[in-house]
A = this chain, B = another copy of it.
Amino acid sequence: MHEKKKMILEVMLRLISEQGIHATPMSQIAKEAGVAAGTIYHYFPSKEALLNDLYLEVKRDLGLVLSGGLAAELPAKDKFWKMWKELFTYYTQNKLMFHFSSQMGHSPMISAGVRAEGKLFYQPIINFFEQGVASGAFRRMDANLMAELVYSSVAATVSLSLLNDVDITEELVQQAIQFSWDGIAAQHNA
């Protein structure tokens, strides 16, 4: 991708994460990206379009991180723990991503279409849950619900971690993963 376009997206991610969307004028994005205000409009038709593009970028990136963990040949339980941990680590180490995702998660500025498009990046995870259910590793549960429940568990834990502004203890993280696992695992796996 063009370097300037990249820079614009990068700066916007940071500014939104730090200040929120409504406190982040295009002029500031331009300034900190080292381009003229008008230049942004060569790459994005509007602030809203830029935001939606960024949303997809972030979701794509996240999707890749998660899917990567699924490639390994491991038992469902191990895959699950790995994925959970990876997502947690990713968010913890990329606070910008997490804050952005949190703020945009329920924002009316992300169009339904883009939101749906973003969901596609999580399809591998949905598939993973479906297979787990089919194989008997996980209990009978709607895969979408399962994905949402697990994702929200991770997010809640990350949120707690970042709130304290100190690394949450490893023990707490283990408790949280255990929470999620016990919530989806087939009874005999508990």
Q: Separation in Å of the A168 CB from the closest CB of chain B?
A: 8
* Partner-binding segment picked from A17-25, A65-73, A79-87, A122-130: A17-25
Within 8 A of B (CB), among A80-139: 99, 102-103, 105-109, 139
Using an 8 Å CB-CB cutoff, how does the interface string of A147-169 with B read, 1 for contact, 0 for none?
01101110111011000000000
Among the listed B145, B159, B187, which residue makes an inter-chain contact with A175, where contact means beta carbons less than 8 Å apart? B145
Instruction: Judge if A179 is at the interface, Cβ distance under 8 Å.
Output: yes
Smallest CB-CB separation from A147: which chain B residue?
B156
- A176 within 8 Å of B (CB atoms): yes
A181 to chain B, nearest CB (A): 8
**In the complex, what residues of B have CB within 8 A of residue A183's CB?**
153, 178-180, 182-183
Interface 1/0 per residue, A168-190 and B, CB below 8 Å: 00001001101110111101001
CB proximity of A95 to chain B, nearest CB, Å? 12
A36 interfacial contact with B, CB 8 Å: no
Q: Which of A19, A155, A175, A184 has the most CB of B within 10 A?
A: A175
A contacts with B, residue count (CB < 8 A): 42
Task: Tell me the complex Cα distance, A148–B154, Å.
Answer: 10
Q: Is there an interface contact between B145 and A176, defined as CB atoms closer than 8 Å?
A: yes
Residue A78 lies at the interface, judged by CB distance under 8 Å to chain B: no
Closest to A153 in B: B149
The winner among A156, A157, A160, A176 for most chain B CB atoms within 10 A is A156
User: CB distance A99 to B106 under 8 Å?
Assistant: yes
In the bound complex, what is the Cα–Cα distance between A122 and B108 (angstroms)?
27
Closest 8 CB pairs of A and B: A179-B183, A102-B106, A152-B156, A20-B108, A152-B152, A183-B183, A148-B156, A141-B175
- What residues of chain B lie closer than 8 Å to A20, measured between beta carbons? 107-109
Contact residue among B109, B144, B152 (Cβ-Cβ distance under 8 Å from A153): B152
